Amino acid sequence: MTRVNGLMNRVFELMLRPLGPLPILYSLAIVSLVTAILILIVMRATSNQQALAATKRQMYADLLEMRLFKDDLPAMWRAQLSMFRHNAGYLRLSLASALWTLVPVVLAIAQLQCYFGYSGVGVREPVLVTATLKSRGEFQNTAIALDLPPGTRLDTPAIWFPALQQVVWRVVAESTGEYVLGVRAGVMSYGKTLHVSNGLARRSPVRPGAQLIDEVLHPSEAPLPDSAPFASIGVAYPDRRIDVFGAQVPWINVYIVLSIGFALALKRFSPP
């Protein structure tokens, strides 16, 4: 999974870099349009279009029969059963293309979450860095510290929460850029990225352990090795809300609505 994430990280970096200067809503609209185009291409390539069209015609015929013979109860029942059968057939024919798009869409949404899901950390704006240990015994057995790169500083000393198995630091950056913090346990150090800017950029809130679901949800950084005493290392980026007609909406809601809207519009005007 690490290699897949690395490849997708490079692809999305190249794709989204030109959108950096645009407002977030415009960038998200362009991404939604591209998503709709790709999904329609995949669905057209992986589904039996002739069978789908024939099944759709049968469904229209069933509907017309129900309207024409609404006073004939046996005919109505036959038409409804036929409509149900053709609906099931349509769903079966659409299932293959849906499965083809499922995994790529999940991976793409995890990537887009890194760009659109979190607001930026500004210059001289404190942000919390949290290291979560695997076991409570690590508090007594391991010396834990945070190594800072040039351009960053600690705003407060480390705060320990033994009940949560966490160590928290508050970090401040003096300029925009990408920093790599080092969370040190004994003689070993584990890096964690910190991105400081307000524009569209990749932000990784968590460097997780080597569990598949965590790698899927947090693809931006390689997972922590099994030998690390930490279960995860996180940076508390604020959640982003997108202004839509005065309402603050999560990005994923806007993305889904725009993608469906573009897909329906493109499908309506595309040739059969």
pLDDT tens profile 41-51: 887 777 666 77
Give me the residue spans of the domains in the chain. 2-117+248-269, 127-238
Nearest to 123 by CA among 223, 197, 202: 197
pLDDT tens profile 45-95: 776 667 767 777 777 777 777 777 766 667 767 777 877 777 776 676 667
CATH number for the domain formed by residue range(s) 127-238: 2.60.40
Specify the residue for token string 């057939």.
89
**DSSP state at residue 18:** G
The model carries a pTM of: 0.79
pLDDT for the residue numbered 272: 53
Alpha carbon distances (Å) from 260 to 5, 37, 69: 26, 11, 35
pLDDT for the residue numbered 217: 87
Backbone angles phi, psi at 118, to 5 degrees: -135, 140
pLDDT score of 255 more than 60 = yes
